[in-house]
Structure 1
């Protein structure tokens, strides 16, 4: 699983930080720090963060080959 955030689209609403606080952190007033390669066990939290983003700046790319091997 790979997390990609369009930082040009992100408006720092921080809804992802509430949905997945271990993976998304708002630094200062508007700088989003995030884990681009979270563990598969965090998938539910990451999916909540994707859904919570009001501007749809977050997407998840899944590596089908790696997920089948796991």
Structure 2
């Protein structure tokens, strides 16, 4: 799976977040460390067991992969 990351270097830090997974963000000293932190954050979010109230179900939705620049 691929997710879009917005990253920027500012004041000696790399900051970034995933557009497709709100809440996954990171700040690291190097670009490589930032990308790894975002990967770990995405994996942890996707593995999180989400409790549901009675009557709700979880569905998977297939969406075609876009061509990202």
TM-score, length basis structure 1: 0.27
Is the radius of gyration larger for structure 1 or structure 2?
2
